[in-house]
Structures are given as structure tokens and as C-alpha cells.
Structure 1
Amino acid sequence: MLINVESTKSVEDLRKGIEETAKAKNFGVMAIHEVTKTLESKGVPINYECVIVEICSPKHASIMLQKNPYVSTAMPCRIAIIDQGHKRIMSTIAPTALLEMFNMPEAKNIAEEVERLMMEIMEEVK
């Protein structure tokens, strides 16, 4: 399941807002991927702007990794910013949707908390 939040702000304003808001909620900013620019530089352009912001809550990451090291394949959390012309979409995979993939029903509370924080970040930034 994807969580999508619409905005009329610019991609750059959303990127900066995600970084600032994530830090305020005790997430670290792990990386920024300028997908459109990277693909253009490789000679395979796309016709819209896409930026991915990777964020991670060390507290939650540590708990999840103690339970199952394979969760690392889905880390850090990623928020994609996709320019659709008249609007921008911030999109992320719902952490609760990943529980089934990792067969971790015991981690439901942690995934719900991270999901709530991710939604708060996107809603506050929009």
C-alpha cells in the first residue's frame, strides 16, 4: 500500500521540508536521490521530475533490526516526490504493508508508529 500526499509546492520546497520535518521528528536524512538528473546524465531521461528522500528513525530501525535483520532490505524509509505538472505527489510505502512480507505480526505497533510519523512528515510539509 502506498501513502500519497498531494501538494502544490515545488519539488525543491518539498525536499527541504521533508528534510527539516524528518529531523525535527528524530529521523536522520540518509540520502537524497535526484532521479531525473541521474537518468538524464545516463542518457535515459524521464519526462517528469522525481526526487527520493531517504530517512531513518534510529530508534525504530534498531528495534526492527533486532527482530529481523532482513528488514534492512526495506530500509531506510523513502519518500518519493513526483512532479505531475499542476501538483506534486509525496509517496511512500506504508511500513505496515511490509509486515506481511517479513512475516512479523509482532512488530505491528512499531510499524504503525513509523507509518504515523511518515504521514505526519508529509502532511506537515504539504
Structure 2
Amino acid sequence: MNYCITRTIDTTDMAALKERVVEALKTEGFGVLTEIDLQATLKKKLDKDHLPHLILGACNPVFADQVVTLEPHISTMLPCNVTIRQLPDGKHELAAIDPAAAMGAVGNPAVEPIAAQVRDALQRVLEKV
């Protein structure tokens, strides 16, 4: 089982792509809680050069409430990361965690249908962009 969902986008404008991702997340009930510029962080901390790479920490509060109610320690797996990274050819790749794969490690069957719903919502987000 793959641990993430991916899609390649034929654009060189990362800022506009990020806006499209954030808007698509909103349509599925997600908000962006965190944003990490991985390229800048690795340059600052390790003085290493990388292509642009953003990590958006996305949360759908309805789904989060449901899974935390069933399994409190699942909060260690929240929020759902959605990444935008520039590829060597200038295109960009979107990737989102597959919650069904990640939360399968929890071993609570009650979490599985919720994780599948979140995976489907994140898949729709990537398709909308």
C-alpha cells in the first residue's frame, strides 16, 4: 500500500499553485494550520540547496474530532500533510498523506472508515487543483 497520493501539475508558478491547493482544501472542509518552507529550512539549518518544497499541515475539524474521540493518541498523526514540490523539469508534484495507510497502524477498526473518507477527500483535493 502506498503511503501517499500524488499528482503532477504542469505549472511553473508555485505561488499560484499553492493558492489553488488551499482553495481546494477549503472545498473539502480542510484548513491549513501550518506551512513549512522545507527548502528555506534545509538551507538555513544545513546550508544545503533544494528545489522549492512546501509542507502544508491541513486539518478537517469534523474528521479530526471523530478520530480523536475514538483514538486519542491518533493526534500524533495530525494534521494531514499536503506537499507541493518543484520537480527538476520545473513542473510541480502535489502529494498528500494517505490516512488509510498511516492510520492502519493504529489497529482500531473503528478508525478505518474515517481514514478512508479522509483519503477520498484528499484525493478529490488533488483532482480539483
By the TM > 0.5 criterion, same fold?
yes
Aligned length: 125
Q: What is the aligned counterpart of 2:106 among 89, 94, 102?
A: 102
Match of 2:54 in 1: 51
92-101 or 63-72: which moved more?
92-101
39-48 or 65-74: which moved more?
39-48
TM-score, normalising length from structure 1?
A: 0.90
Which runs of 5 or more residues in structure 1 are unaligned? none
Cα distance in 1 for residues equivalent to 2:63 and 2:105: 18
Q: What is the aligned counterpart of 2:116 among 89, 108, 112?
A: 112
Match of 1:88 in 2: 92
Q: What is the aligned counterpart of 2:10 among 8, 11, 23?
A: 8
- What RMSD over aligned residues (CA atoms) do the two structures have, in Å? 1.4
The letter of the residue matching 1:123 is E
Which runs of 5 or more residues in structure 2 are unaligned? none
Displacement, 1:42? 2.5
Q: Is the 8 A contact 1:28 1:55 kept in 2?
A: yes
TM-score, normalising length from structure 2?
A: 0.88
After superposing on structure 2, the runs of 4+ consecutive aligned residues of structure 1 that deviate more than 4 Å are: none
